[in-house]
Amino acid sequence: MSDKRAWWKEAVIYQIYPRSFADSNGDGIGDLNGIIGKLDYVKKLGADVIWLNPIYKSPNDDNGYDIADYRDIMTEFGTMADFDRLLAEAHIRGLRIVMDLVVNHTSDENAWFIESRKSKDNPYRDFYIWKDPKNVSEGDTADRSDPKWQDEHAPNNWESCFSGSAWQYDQTTGQYYLHCFSKKQPDLNWENPKVRDEVFDMMNWWCQKGIDGFRMDVISMISKVQSYPDGKVNDGVYGDLNPYVCNGPHVHEYLQEMNRRVLSKYDIMTVGEAAGVTLEQATHYANNDGAELGMVFHFEHTDGGQNSDAMIGKWSVNPPKLSYIRSTLNKWQTGLEGKAWGSLYWDNHDQPRAVSRFGNDSPEWRVRSAKMIATCLHFQKGTPYVYQGEEIGMTNMHFSSVEDCNDIEERNAYRQYVTEQHMISSEDMLRCFDHVGRDNARTPMQWNDGPQAGFTTGTPWFTVNPNYREINVEQALADPDSVFYYYQKLIALRHKLPVMVYGKFIPLLEDSDSIYAYRRVLDEEGAGKQTITVACNWTDQKVPCSLFDDLQGEELITNVDSHEKGFLLPYEARAILS
Ligand code: GLC
Ligand code: CA
């Protein structure tokens, strides 16, 4: 067997977006004590690890991804004492806690940046990326507070991932700083060894507290091409930044340094969010030699190809195509084999709800299709991630006005493409938000059919999806056929069957336009050969399938009451161990 065993390869991760998970004090905002109150729920599901989205002190321009103090807790979420209790209570239950590490950028309210912007010779100046205005003729007396002037003289044409220029002019020193995300998220300058010292110190500090790992935010973007060249215009929102920011010249060097100075000293798991990562690159980031990270998240199945007919950038209303999803995931499954470990996910806090996007969220098929996509993913090779609410089949939201949206990515896109540039109508933009907006994942967790879905006794910070009366945890726990118990079973199977974790992935039926099928095979000395055969019908039609006709074995799981020989029923999924 080529894979070295590790606890985090055998684990299932449950992702919590704290703001929307559970509110303990009625202020309408989820908090750490709320999470503590739900640890038994996560344990019941069977997950091993909780990944917390950022809980650090933050002005919340991008819901915590703009960190003002890495060693303090966001006021609304609680205190460091609450965190210590959360960690202890999790550990008592055998649950581990993974923190979000956001070090490509900080908040502009971080002490480092407050210093940095004061003067060109401030000791923190080089903690960030400052550049002079471009093409300014000598003696130019133009009014530099004019946004048009600032636009025209930006150091290059890079666009922020959240729309608009990636450069912000700062009056105090007459230079621009780089922000790949919002202008309240200035990028750190990783070329500066002092930045790396500070970041690694801070990471060691958290590790010494006893946390169990890091999910590293846009870690593939920390090393920029130092000549800061213009990007190709109209190359899509991420397009401009991609070749100069993603997988940059020193990214592997910096991660190896991080590994030497921090990661290798602890028994922790790491997963890098790797915007723009290719399969080849991933075999470096997550190589089995353990020199960098444990695994990475790639985005090929959630953006990219299926959006080639998108309206603008990522904004699309097109359902993903099975052929694209399958060829992409299969490519990663077979491409990582023997080289690097992978991660498995359908959704997270940046993606629409899994069942709405990949399954079918109509009342008729929601439950069955949610189980189908879960089957399809959880039998693959890699560490699975379950995003809060996915395990009860929570769905996308409908947004009827931009006023209803909270997400900075959505609000900026609306301002730029609808209000300023008239590139798309308001209705079309809102339909895009319904389909792929990040707000879909951020509506409060639906705990029961009471007021505010049991998320808060006060006024929730963000709208509860009106379908909470039908879709909620209480209902799911009362129904033995619920999506919840199906996930519980999938997770238990993974814990029981080494073939589900370490088995080699073998694609099947690669030309089918309705079925996603594959095998996992593990041939272990002493244990004999084990094979799991999986088939999932991605359509609402009954389709011919003879895979199981002559297959003897134990049915591990299925989402239908009875099978029809030679067919798969609409959204049917099956896995057989032989
Ligand atoms: C990552 C996070 C996302 C955030 C962005 C900037 O993509 O997942 O939520 O907005 O980085 O930090
Ligand atoms: Ca609260």
Q: pLDDT by residue (tens digit) across 562-576?
A: 999 999 999 999 999
Is residue 181 within 6 Å of ligand 1 at its C-beta?
yes
pLDDT of residue 236: 44
Task: State which of 65, 67, 104, 219 you would mutate to test the pocket of ligand 1, scoring each by most atoms of that ligand within 8 A of its C-beta.
Answer: 65
Residues 179 and 168 sit within 8 Å (Cβ to Cβ): yes
Residues 16 and 36 sit within 8 Å (Cβ to Cβ): no
- Which residue has the CA at smallest separation from atom 4 of ligand 1? 65
Token pair in block for residue 231: 């990007």
Residues 544 and 566 sit within 8 Å (Cβ to Cβ): yes
Ligand lying closest to the C-alpha of residue 460: 2
- C-alpha distance from residue 387 to each of 30, 309, 440 (Å): 16, 27, 12
pLDDT of residue 123: 98
Render pLDDT for 443-483 as a digit per residue (tens, 0 to 9): 999 999 999 999 999 999 999 999 999 999 999 999 999 99
pLDDT of residue 305: 47
Determine the residue type at 462: F
SS3 10: coil
Cα 67 to middle of ligand 2, angstroms: 19
* Mean of pLDDT values over 74-88: 98
Return the closest-CA partner of residue 487 out of 377, 570, 402, 563: 377
Positive or negative, the Cα torsion across 367, 30, 454, 212?
A: positive
Q: How many CB atoms within 10 Å of residue 140? A: 11
Q: Find the radius of gyration of the CA atoms of the chain.
A: 24
Ligand lying closest to the C-alpha of residue 412: 1
Residues 55 and 15 sit within 8 Å (Cβ to Cβ): no
| Element at 505 (helix H, strand E) | strand 504-508
How far apart (Å, rounded) are the C-alpha atoms in residues 11 and 365?
Answer: 29
Cα 31 to middle of ligand 2, angstroms: 5
Ligand lying closest to the C-alpha of residue 29: 2
Determine the residue type at 420: E
Using the predicted structure, report yes or no on whether residue 311 has a pLDDT greater than 80: no
Cα 245 to middle of ligand 1, angstroms: 15
Render pLDDT for 183-193 as a digit per residue (tens, 0 to 9): 999 999 999 99
Using the predicted structure, report yes or no on whether residue 516 has a pLDDT greater than 90: yes
Cα 555 to middle of ligand 1, angstroms: 40
% of the chain with per-residue pLDDT over 90 = 90
Please name the residue ranges forming H helices in 238-302: 242-245, 251-261, 279-285
Cα 296 to middle of ligand 1, angstroms: 15
Angle between helices 193-209 and 251-261 (to 10 degrees): 40
Using the predicted structure, report yes or no on whether residue 238 has a pLDDT greater than 70: no
Tell me 9's DSSP state. G
Render pLDDT for 498-508 as a digit per residue (tens, 0 to 9): 999 999 999 99
Cα 567 to middle of ligand 1, angstroms: 42
- Which residue has the CA at smallest separation from atom 7 of ligand 1? 218
Cα 5 to middle of ligand 2, angstroms: 39
Return the closest-CA partner of residue 430 out of 317, 304, 313, 307: 317
Task: Tell me phi and psi for residue 35, to 5 degrees.
Answer: -65, -45
Cα atoms in the Cβ-side hemisphere of radius 13 Å centred on 300: 21
Is residue 218 within 6 Å of ligand 1 at its C-beta?
yes
Token pair in block for residue 379: 């039998």
Ligand 1 atom with the smallest distance to the CA of 409 is: 10
- End-to-end distance of the chain based on CA atoms, in angstroms? 19
Q: How many CB atoms within 10 Å of residue 60? A: 19
Structural domains in the chain, CATH included, are 13-106+193-399+445-486 (3.20.20.80), 111-178 (3.90.400.10), 400-442 (no CATH), 503-577 (2.60.40.1180)
Task: Report the residue count for the chain.
Answer: 578
pLDDT of residue 233: 57
Task: State which of 218, 220, 222 you would mutate to test the pocket of ligand 1, scoring each by most atoms of that ligand within 8 A of its C-beta.
Answer: 218
Residues 333 and 521 sit within 8 Å (Cβ to Cβ): no
Cα 17 to middle of ligand 2, angstroms: 13
Ligand lying closest to the C-alpha of residue 77: 2
How far apart (Å, rounded) are the C-alpha atoms in residues 561 and 553?
Answer: 18
Those residues with Cβ within 8 angstroms of residue 138's Cβ, 6 or more apart along the chain or in another chain = none
Is residue 62 within 6 Å of ligand 1 at its C-beta?
yes
Catalytic choice (23, 108, 159, 217): 217
pLDDT of residue 314: 83
> Using DSSP, how many helices (H) and how many strands (E) does the chain show?
18, 20
Ligand 1 atom with the smallest distance to the CA of 105 is: 12
pTM given for the model: 0.96
Task: State which of 62, 221, 242 you would mutate to test the pocket of ligand 1, scoring each by most atoms of that ligand within 8 A of its C-beta.
Answer: 62
- Which residue has the CA at smallest separation from atom 12 of ligand 1? 65
Is residue 350 within 6 Å of ligand 1 at its C-beta?
yes
- Three-state DSSP string of 510-543: CCCCCEEEEEEEEEECCCEEEEEEEEEECCCCCE
Using the predicted structure, report yes or no on whether residue 63 has a pLDDT greater than 50: yes
Cα 50 to middle of ligand 2, angstroms: 19
How far apart (Å, rounded) are the C-alpha atoms in residues 166 and 104?
Answer: 14
Return the closest-CA partner of residue 52 out of 21, 92, 93, 91: 21
Whether 273 is catalytic = yes
Please name the residue ranges forming H helices in 337-389: 354-358, 366-378
Ligand lying closest to the C-alpha of residue 20: 2
- Which residue has the CA at smallest separation from atom 9 of ligand 1? 350
Using the predicted structure, report yes or no on whether residue 304 has a pLDDT greater than 70: no
- Which residue has the CA at smallest separation from atom 5 of ligand 1? 65
Token pair in block for residue 429: 């933009």
Lowest mean pLDDT among 129-133, 214-218, 320-324: 320-324
% of the chain with per-residue pLDDT over 70 = 97
Ligand lying closest to the C-alpha of residue 161: 1
How far apart (Å, rounded) are the C-alpha atoms in residues 142 and 245?
Answer: 31
Catalytic choice (62, 187, 273, 439): 273
Whether 217 is catalytic = yes
Is residue 217 within 6 Å of ligand 1 at its C-beta?
yes
Token pair in block for residue 460: 């929730």
- C-alpha distance from residue 359 to each of 267, 287, 321, 370 (Å): 37, 32, 11, 6
Task: State which of 60, 180, 181, 187 you would mutate to test the pocket of ligand 1, scoring each by most atoms of that ligand within 8 A of its C-beta.
Answer: 181
pLDDT of residue 237: 41
Is residue 65 within 6 Å of ligand 1 at its C-beta?
yes
Cα 24 to middle of ligand 2, angstroms: 5
Is residue 102 within 6 Å of ligand 1 at its C-beta?
yes
Task: State which of 66, 350, 387, 411 you would mutate to test the pocket of ligand 1, scoring each by most atoms of that ligand within 8 A of its C-beta.
Answer: 350
Token pair in block for residue 58: 């933050």
